Amino acid sequence: MLMIRQAWRNIFRNIRRTVLTCTLIASSLIVIILVDTLINSMTGLMVKGITETIEGEAQIYHSGFRDQYDPELYISDPKSIISKLDSDDEIKTYASRVIVPSMIGSSYNSDGVVLYGVDAEKESNTSRLQSAIIEGDYLSGSDRELLLGRLIAEKLEVGIGDRIVITSSEINTNQMIQELFRVSGIVQFGPKELDEGFAFINLSTAQRIFNIGEGVHQIAIRFNNPELANSPDLDIYKTLPSDTLEVKGWLALQPGLGAMLEMTGLSTLIMGTILFILASLGVVNSIFMSIYERTYELAVSKAIGTRPSGIASLVLLEGLFLALISCFFGIIITFILGIFLQESGLSLGVMEFSGVAFPDNIPVKLTLDQYVNFPFYVVLLTLVAAIYPAIFAARIVPAQAVQKAL
């Protein structure tokens, strides 16, 4: 107890130095928590941008379909899969789709698009299609409806009600087909690739014109708990896959995204390490200064019988207190900033990154484990930083130190 009191009082002997050191440690803590939060929010948005826009959190498709988007690889009888999905508690919604690359033409222009046949009701719960409508109406189920991305609509110079001709080939026979549609709605997702390359019609219409019966190319899935989307323990991953059927979560579907998430995680780690090394140097320096200033006092302590380990413990204890004080204030400040940011979001201007458009206010959310983990590392690293000065102090030779000082 006396040693704890001694250590505590020692760090207030030079208040200015303690304030500076603690400011250094606390700022590192605040910066790293905020950076981590920002990166988490951005990657979270990025993942949501991809999974919630169209792709879903998991997909079921005929083996090999995703390699080339070959329309011949469709699930010809999805009924049993659908009934499984309906009875699975983990699954919130799903949407079946027919996906066929097609030519799209207006009176003015023509271009290639990926034509989606979607189930209007299920799709509206699974993807952003309905909310992406900026003009006209969502699909109602009637045969000649077509939703068009904003950029392709501009290119084709068409508006609501204008005629569109889809040219493609029947899937099994490869016979050429041509169908007439009217633009019923214009959609805008944000990312350029989506807005210039996609067109949507009703699922039943697509199944009829491509002549695939009940067949679908893809079933996109959203889970009740999106965090679990990539967990191999999920029922659908364990029971559904077969020779002809693949079932994959978004991480497997988007390997690039996974790699990017790893990269951002790594960069937080690197940045955190650099920051903490710099802070640690500050800590080492400040503890050394305090030791130099009381060499005589430490020498007397040793002379009267304090063991080297006792001296080292005292110095480590002082390092611990510095870290705890820093974390205390660092956490309070981060908490206040967190409340502020949670309300206002972080404004970085309009950005698009990896095909995901960020809102210009990024919602920021701090989690409990950030308040626990990072301070824990800070305390740990401060103690590590204090080891060297502690050993140095423990090795002070009393006779020399006492003589030098007088």
Partner 1 sequence: MSMVIEIENLTRKYGKGIGEVVAINEISLNIEYGEFTAIIGPSGSGKSTLLNLIGGLDKSDSGSVLLAGRDIAKMSGSQMSDFRRDRIGFIFQAYNLIPVLSAEENIEYIMLLQGIPSVKRKERVQEMLFLVGLEGLGHRRPSELSGGQQQRVAVARAMASKPEIILADEPTANLDSKTGMALLDMMRQLNEDQGVTFVFSTHDEMIMKRARRLIHLRDGLVALDERNSNATP
Q: Choose one: 92-100, 117-125, 193-201, 299-307; the region binding partner 1 (CB under 8 A).
A: 299-307
Comparison of 9 and 192: residue with beta carbon closer to partner 1: 9
Dist. CA 146–CA 283, nearest whole Å? 65
CA 209 from centre of chain = 40
Question: What phi and psi values does residue 249 have, to the nearest 5 degrees?
Answer: -80, 170
CB 148 within 8 A of CB 129: no
Q: Does 403 bind partner 1 (CB under 8 A)?
A: yes
Q: Is 13 in the site for partner 1 (CB under 8 A)?
A: yes
Part in contact with partner 1 (CB under 8 A); list of ranges 63-71, 72-80, 213-221, 398-406: 398-406
Number of residues that bind partner 1 (CB under 8 A): 25
Least CB distance from residue 319 to partner 1, whole Å?
A: 16
Task: Give residue 405's identity as a one-letter amino acid code.
Answer: A
Contact mark string toward partner 1, 324..363, x via CB under 8 A: ----------------------------------------
Residue 6 binds partner 1, judged by CB under 8 A: yes
Interaction between residue 310 and partner 1 (CB under 8 A): yes
In the chain, the N- to C-terminal Cα span, in Å, equals 31
Instruction: Report the amino acid identity of residue 54.
Output: I
| 306 contacts partner 1 (rule: CB under 8 A) | yes
DSSP 119-170: -HHHHHHHSSTTTTEEEE----S-TTEEEEEHHHHHHHT--TT-EEEEEEE-
302 binds partner 1 (CB under 8 A): yes
Stretch that binds partner 1, among 4-12, 71-79, 107-115, 186-194 (CB under 8 A): 4-12
Give residues 24-53 in contact with partner 1 (rule: CB under 8 A). none
Residue 15 as a binder of partner 1 (CB under 8 A): the answer is no
Per rule CB under 8 A, is residue 176 in the interface with partner 1?
Answer: no
**If binding is defined by CB under 8 A, does position 308 make contact with partner 1?**
yes
What is the distance, to the nearest Å, from the Cα of residue 246 to the centroid of all Cα atoms in its chain? 25
Residue 238 engages partner 1 in binding (rule: CB under 8 A): no
Task: Look up tokens 């080492």; give the residue.
Answer: 284
What b/e readout covers 291-325, taking b as 16+ CB neighbours within 10 angstroms?
beebbbebbebbeeebeeeebbbbbbbbbbbbbbb
Taking the complex as a whole, the smallest distance from the CB of residue 12 to partner 1 amounts, in Å, to 8
- In whole angstroms, the minimum distance from the beta carbon of 296 to partner 1 comes to 6
The set of residues, in sequence order, having a beta carbon less than 8 Å from that of 247 and lying 6+ positions away, is: 58, 59, 60, 236, 237, 240, 241
The alpha carbon torsion through 366, 372, 373, 378 (nearest 10 deg) reads 110
Q: How far is the CB of 297 from partner 1 (least distance, A)?
A: 6
Indicate the residue among 114 and 300 with the shorter CB distance to partner 1.
300
Total residues belonging to the chain? 406
Return residues touching partner 1 (CB under 8 A). Answer: 2, 5-6, 9-10, 13, 296-297, 300-310, 398-399, 402-403, 405-406
